[in-house]
Amino acid sequence: MVLTNRQDDRGAPYGGNPGKYLLVYFGILVLAGLQFAIAYQQVNVTAALFRMFALAILEAGLMVVFFMRLGAENRPFVTWIAIVTLLVLTIMQSSWPDSYRMERDAPPNDRSPGYRTGPSQ
Amino acid sequence: MGKVFAATLIVIALASAMPIILHTWEPPADISTHGRLIDEQMSETMAEAGVAFLAAQLILAWLVWRFSNRPKNEKIQHFPGGARGLVAAAVLVVGIEVMALGIFGAKAWAAIYFTPPSANALPIQAQAGQFAFYFRYPGADGKFGPIHPEMVNEGNLNFFGLDTTHDADSKDDIVTAELAVPVNREIHLLMHSKDVGHSFFIRELRIQQDFVPGLDLAVHFTATKPGKYEILCTQLCGLGHYNMKAYLKVMSQSDFDNWLKQKAALQ
Amino acid sequence: MSQSDLTMGTHLSVPERSSPFAMPSKKLAMWLFLIADAATFATCLVAYGFLRNGSLNWPTPFKFFPTVVNTMVMTFILVTSSLTMALGVRAAKMGDQDAAYRWTMLTAAGGSIFVLLHVHEWMDLIDEGVRLSRNPWGNALFGASFFTITGLHLIHVMAGIVVLIVVGLRCRGGRCDAGDVEITGLYWHFVNLVWMFVVPLVYLLNVSK
Amino acid sequence: MHDKSAHAARHRVPPTGFIRKYIFSTDHKVIGEQYYGLALAAVFIGMVLSWIMRIHLAWPAAAIPGMQLLSKNGAPGGVLTPEYYLQLMTMHGTIMVFFVLTTAPLAGFGNYFLPIQVGAEDMPFPRLNMLSFWVTFGAFLVAIAAFFVPQGPPLSGWTAYAPLSALGEVAGPGQGTGQVLWAVSIAIFCVGQLLGTLNFISATLDMRCQGMGLMRLPLTVWAWFITACISLTAFAVLMPACILLVLDHVAGTSFFVPSNLVVNDQLQPHAGGSTLLWQHLFWFFGHPEVYIAIVPAMGIVSHVLITNMRRPLLSHKAIIYSMVAIAFLSYMVYGHHMFVSGMNPYSSIAFSLPTLAITIPSTIMVLIWIGSLYGSKLRINTASLFALGFISMFVSGGITGFFLAQPSLDIMLHATYFVVGHFHLVMAVAALFGIFAGTYFWFPKVTGRMMNETLGKVHFWFTFVGAYCIFMPFHYLGMAGNVRRYQAFVDDFMAPLMPVHKFITIAALITGAAQLIFLYNLIHSRFWGELAPQNPWEGTSLEWSIPSPPPFDNFAGKLPVVYHDPYQYDIEGATNDYVMQDSPASINSVRGEK
């Protein structure tokens, strides 16, 4: 038993040519393929991460806007969801400065080769 | 009943402010070079907070006294200026005041954490473990020997896990259970945790910093007054947490040299 | 107080019932759940990134064959299943219940292949000696974060397959509620969206070049 | 669009069997009462734990009668061991924060009154709602189970800082099974809250009756809605963090445990994790949690005050926007819990400024409440007294935030009783005052009977004065450097502060005992109280337009139509001085709101 508000879905009507979906699909596949290519570029981890992450955001954007049809939802909803999600995901990044210190400020004996390899052998 | 509430609130507000005004319970006098900034910031904040506290409580009391249980035929009046004035007051007076307090107060923090220790600061390593502090002085060579965690053995009094047979740097390291420092000399305290989180708190030095397992943090300070002060653990570390303490002894340079010699002889 | 309230004489304005987001409650609830789930995945990924970034000897053991190829295939299948899902939702919305059934089942099948490939990969890694607590290559957290993140994702996929099958069967019985297909679709797309981040972070940053 | 007759024609049949009616009920009102009952049970357990701790602190060698029955090892002969003190402290914090301050103001009152106040017959997902309660109840049982495992509950505090919480039994008694139960319980709790949140948000947005525009929602509904938006993501972060903590225990992972730790001369087999990571994840939840506890109380207090002041607030919108601002800031400030805990010192400044900025919306709210009192016709009853008490407590507790928001002062105050006094006043006592205000205010609606006003006022005076006697001295202790989480203050500078501790303990015992008056009043009035009219406080919102207690589907199959903003008091020409939200009467007097 669900008491919905019986709202009509006022999003853009369905129907018409499914070609848009195919286009998005190929777009995502291409972006994903690029991710794999970047993995084998000779760049450092940070650069690779940023490139792949940017592609992932693009893919996610395509997914959200077209497959999940966020683009067809009304403006207040899009605004609300964007603010809430981005706020949380952004603020979550504030732990990074401490991540960099993990290595820099580790006790000297932890920095020897083979350190943090698990249970002491 | 409204008047009783008002009267009670006034009594509570004044009684709450009394110990602050009379300085009944105060932190002990500062013995550090950096503590003055903290103390000044504390008094400024206390002045602001105290005024805000008393104003809010007394106005609340007065309004309840004046406007509770009025006769039926009296009219509702409106606050002059309405909400707009109050919102402006909150933003412009209280908001800016508090933000300014925080922004200018940051310099006390910066003085401690954003400035590196001077080159001739005396390095001492502090190690926290369940439930005791140990301190290590580098000895004549000025170098700390490496720590071997697998060699830590409290029964053998090898608190730091030093390997004095193999490591040349460890041989002259002096390990003590109390922290002795020369007066007016900057100390560079390297903090190492052996097991779980602990903290290093000396009220007189205006220093509190956690020991973080896996991170060797450091603080630096200069003690200006000889004496014996308590070092407390303030980060919950287990059942003996309440009993985890050590002493800071601030002494003259010559006393300190003798003390260090004595301790070295015991190693 | 709104101005319209004050000046009315005999006629009182009564706005219609409406949701500011103009969508059924179920769909809204699914979106809300997805926000929360995004935070959950983000927590795991941030934890992983935090630890990986702070570690010196993070292993990069994944070889082109079999792991990366396998990941490519899994990604392809998952993206394709998103397409079939989108088409299924479209069919359901347009009232074509049989098509909705077929597309949903196709999606579930894609998801199942994904699960099989994933489990196979897990088994291979376990055979190589990778566990939550240790692995043969270095930092012990490699196995822990790999299995935790992919495991959390795998659980989501498996739950999605179950829901897809249930919803699909309801479509075949002619009891198709297009709204249910739609919110299942939202969930499924979201799970695939998460995979877009899992692949680069967990797999591609750890390939051996 | 669907008209209201179509909507109301649904004819839900009320359940008949006892189990469907009172145990596994999908009725939001029953679920609200269940949550409230859970909070009531939890608050008394938590209070007794605090009694035990206070007695032990003031008289460390005293045997507490009956303690040995609770734990033979933890309290041999009735005297607490150091570890058992910490274990009780952990459970006090956990039970109070999660099972009282989160459940009662949001899930308890919110479930009961949100659907009524928006003019709906139930929550949009009644079954999820039922599940939400039972999941939460399960979490409670798991948490309580920690008392009965061999080594007892965990001793790492409600914040469960790693690696103490992640190393297992070796780190201390209760850190094995007890800590795992704790983490599992919290993870389950998070799931329960998520389910509740889905209902709260969709009910507010979708279930409003005809005419109920967003700005026509009572402030309570706004508060619950905003709180639900906060908890949507806050709990979603805590849950995986707890799961990772459990994995560190049972699967040998090392997310929160760094390498080379030596406990009891044994090198620990963990490697590579970070203890700061746990603190970041925990406080990312932990700070929003503070607002999850306090924002509903703000809504309830506004609602109660307005009704008893016989006038709307100076600004309805200012309160709403302030709550929204607080919700936003709640996520940006969590690092102020970690100033001295080894966090990057530059981050401290970045977290300090938004923390101070919270002063602004908080001050706006307090000024609006106080400014609205001016010229009002304040009716003094138990509910309004508690609402006034809330303002006083919120100011007292909030102002000490000026200190703790500044990293440099935190050096002196962190981990002292100053912090304990601060968060107890602003989060615990203030939220409890909100709960009390709500209870005295809505009790007639829920039960159809009035609570005893005399007993209520006696309860108020003991609680109000008592709370100040307990928590104000905490600040003085903290300023003198008295450290928290110590089971005894032996042979050190804290020994001279013992008289203050004894005073606090006596105040706590009396104040706690006074809560029995409340309990008696609650139970006695439930069965033998004076019969309540439909609208005893002359309120305007929808809950007062239906019989007391409300019928099964609230509006008897016919949803209301709302014609007015929520707080139409001080209306000239009305039969009384107010006009109900669903009254079709028109209002001609023009009053401006800025």
- How high is the pLDDT of residue C55? 87
- How high is the pLDDT of residue C15? 59
Interface residue of A85, A89, A90, A98 to substitute, partner D, most D CBs within 10 Å? A98
CA D394 centroid distance within chain: 14
Is residue B176 domain-shared with residue B195, that is, in the same domain? yes
Assess if residue B156 is contained within a domain: yes
**3-class secondary-structure state, position D94:** helix
- How high is the pLDDT of residue C147? 96
> By the 8 A CB rule, do B49 and B13 touch?
no
Q: Are D260 and A110 within 8 A, CB to CB?
A: yes
pLDDT band at D22 (very low <50, low <70, confident <90, very high): confident
Between A and C, how many residue pairs show a Cβ–Cβ distance under 8 A? 188
Q: Considering CB atoms only, which of C57, C94, C192 is closest to A116?
A: C57
Alpha-carbon span D241 to C160, nearest angstrom: 23
Between A and B, how many residue pairs show a Cβ–Cβ distance under 8 A? 23
- Token output for C50: 């935090």
For residue B192, the chain A residue with the least C-alpha distance is: A107
- How high is the pLDDT of residue A3? 45
Element (H, E) at B101: helix B96-113
For residue D205, the chain C residue with the least C-alpha distance is: C19
Taking all residues of chain B, what is their mean pLDDT, rounded to a whole number?
Answer: 93
Q: Considering CB atoms only, which of C79, C93, C189 is closest to A68?
A: C189
pLDDT digits (tens, 9 = 90+) for C68-90: 999 999 999 999 999 999 999 99
Q: Are B149 and A109 within 8 A, CB to CB?
A: yes
> By the 8 A CB rule, do B40 and B96 touch?
no
Q: Which residues contact C116 (CB under 8 A, 6 or more apart)?
A: none
- Judged by a CB distance cut-off of 8 A, whether residue D125 touches chain A is yes
Alpha-carbon span D307 to D350, nearest angstrom: 41
> By the 8 A CB rule, do A101 and D252 touch?
no
- How high is the pLDDT of residue D423? 96
Detail the DSSP E strand segments found in chain A: none
Q: Which residues contact D420 (CB under 8 A, 6 or more apart)?
A: D474, D478, D484
Is residue B128 domain-shared with residue B102, that is, in the same domain? no
Alpha-carbon span D230 to D233, nearest angstrom: 6
Q: Which residues of D174-209 are buried (b: 16+ CB within 10 A; e: fewer)?
A: bbbbbbbbbbbbbbbbbbbbbbbbbbbbbbbbbbbb
pLDDT digits (tens, 9 = 90+) for B20-51: 999 998 899 999 999 999 999 999 999 999 99
- How high is the pLDDT of residue D567? 93
The CA distance from C9 to the nearest CA of chain A, in Å, is: 31
- Judged by a CB distance cut-off of 8 A, whether residue A1 touches chain D is yes
What share of chain D in percent tops pLDDT 70?
97
- Residues of A whose CB is below 8 A from B123: none
Angle, vertex CA D37, rays to CA D31 and CA D40, nearest 5: 145
Q: Where are the domains of chain C?
A: 64-209
- List C-alpha distances in Å: B70 to B58, D206, D308, D376, D403: 20, 41, 12, 8, 39
Assess if residue B238 is contained within a domain: yes
- Residues of D whose CB is below 8 A from B201: 415, 483
> By the 8 A CB rule, do D451 and D444 touch?
yes
- How high is the pLDDT of residue C22? 84
In the predicted model, what is the mean pLDDT of residues D32-59? 96
Sign of CA dihedral D420, D423, D426, D429: negative
Q: Are D274 and A102 within 8 A, CB to CB?
A: yes
In the predicted model, what is the mean pLDDT of residues B100-119? 90
Q: Which domain holds residue B250?
A: 122-266
For residue A8, the chain D residue with the least C-alpha distance is: D1
Neighbouring-strand partners of residue D262: D267
Q: Considering CB atoms only, which of D271, D274, D347 is closest to A117?
A: D271
ipTM of the complex: 0.94
Is residue B226 domain-shared with residue B154, that is, in the same domain? yes
The CA distance from A61 to the nearest CA of chain D, in Å, is: 20
- Residues of C whose CB is below 8 A from A85: 35, 38
Alpha-carbon span B141 to B171, nearest angstrom: 10
Q: Which residues contact D107 (CB under 8 A, 6 or more apart)?
A: D32, D35, D132, D133, D136, D193, D196
What share of chain B in percent tops pLDDT 70?
100
Q: The domain C64-209: what is its CATH number?
A: 1.20.120.80
Alpha-carbon span D323 to D312, nearest angstrom: 17
Q: Are A4 and D229 within 8 A, CB to CB?
A: no
**D360 half-sphere exposure, CB direction, 13 A CA radius:** 21
For residue B147, the chain A residue with the least C-alpha distance is: A109
| Res. A13: pLDDT tops 60 | yes
Neighbouring-strand partners of residue B122: B187
Sign of CA dihedral C139, C140, C146, C149: negative
- How high is the pLDDT of residue C56? 79
Alpha-carbon span B9 to B6, nearest angstrom: 5
> By the 8 A CB rule, do B42 and D412 touch?
yes
In the predicted model, what is the mean pLDDT of residues A54-78? 93
- Residues of C whose CB is below 8 A from A93: 46
- How high is the pLDDT of residue B38? 95
pLDDT band at A118 (very low <50, low <70, confident <90, very high): very low
Q: Where are the domains of chain A?
A: 19-67, 74-98
Is residue B101 domain-shared with residue B10, that is, in the same domain? yes
pLDDT band at A109 (very low <50, low <70, confident <90, very high): low
Q: Count of CB atoms within 10 A of residue B20's CB?
A: 18
Which stretches of chain C drop beneath a pLDDT of 70?
1-17
- Residues of A whose CB is below 8 A from C186: 68
Alpha-carbon span D522 to D451, nearest angstrom: 7
In the predicted model, what is the mean pLDDT of residues D331-354? 94
Q: Can you spell out the DSSP letters for B109-145?
A: HHHHHSSPPPTTPEEEEEEEETTEEEEEE-TTTT-PP
> By the 8 A CB rule, do D445 and D550 touch?
yes
Taking all residues of chain D, what is their mean pLDDT, rounded to a whole number?
Answer: 92
pLDDT band at A16 (very low <50, low <70, confident <90, very high): low
Q: Are D347 and A98 within 8 A, CB to CB?
A: yes
For residue C4, the chain D residue with the least C-alpha distance is: D564
Chains that touch B (3 or more CB pairs under 8 A): A, D
Largest alpha-carbon pair distance within chain C?
A: 82
- How high is the pLDDT of residue D66? 87
Is residue B254 domain-shared with residue B184, that is, in the same domain? yes
In the predicted model, what is the mean pLDDT of residues D383-404? 96
Strand D262-263 to D266-267 pairing: antiparallel
Q: Which of B219-233, D5-19, D299-313 has the lowest mean pLDDT?
A: D5-19
pLDDT digits (tens, 9 = 90+) for D141-197: 999 999 999 999 999 999 999 899 999 999 999 999 999 999 999 999 999 999 999
CATH of region D27-258+269-579, choose from 2.30.30.60, 3.30.365.10, 3.40.630.30, 1.20.210.10: 1.20.210.10
- How high is the pLDDT of residue D573? 74
Q: Can you spell out the DSSP letters for B223-259?
A: B-S-EEEEEE--S--STTGGG-EEEEEEE-HHHHHHH
Q: Are A59 and C193 within 8 A, CB to CB?
A: yes
Alpha-carbon span D280 to D270, nearest angstrom: 20
- How high is the pLDDT of residue B245? 92
Alpha-carbon span D460 to A67, nearest angstrom: 57
Assess if residue B37 is contained within a domain: yes
Q: Which residues contact D354 (CB under 8 A, 6 or more apart)?
A: D329, D332, D333
Assess if residue B76 is contained within a domain: no
Q: Which of B92-106, B172-186, B199-213, C34-48 has the lowest mean pLDDT?
A: B92-106
The CA distance from A9 to the nearest CA of chain D, in Å, is: 11
Q: Which of B99-108, B128-137, C194-203, D434-443 has the lowest mean pLDDT?
A: B99-108
| Res. A113: pLDDT tops 60 | no
- How high is the pLDDT of residue C13? 56
Q: Are A102 and B214 within 8 A, CB to CB?
A: yes
- List C-alpha distances in Å: A35 to C82, C192, C193: 18, 15, 14
Is residue B105 domain-shared with residue B30, that is, in the same domain? yes
| Res. B9: pLDDT tops 80 | yes
Interface residue of A95, A110, A112 to substitute, partner B, most B CBs within 10 Å? A110
D91 by Cβ neighbours in 10 Å (0-12 / 13-18 / 19+) ranks as buried
What share of chain D in percent tops pLDDT 90?
84
Alpha-carbon span D423 to D411, nearest angstrom: 17
Q: Considering CB atoms only, which of D233, D237, D280 is closest to A98?
A: D280
Alpha-carbon span B48 to B94, nearest angstrom: 9
Assess if residue B91 is contained within a domain: yes
- How high is the pLDDT of residue D11? 57
For residue D258, the chain A residue with the least C-alpha distance is: A116
C155 by Cβ neighbours in 10 Å (0-12 / 13-18 / 19+) ranks as exposed
| Side chain identity at residue B8, one-letter code | T
- How high is the pLDDT of residue C17? 64
Residues 75-114 of A with CB under 8 A from B: 101-102, 105-110
Is residue B229 domain-shared with residue B249, that is, in the same domain? yes
- How high is the pLDDT of residue D16? 83
The CA distance from C173 to the nearest CA of chain D, in Å, is: 24
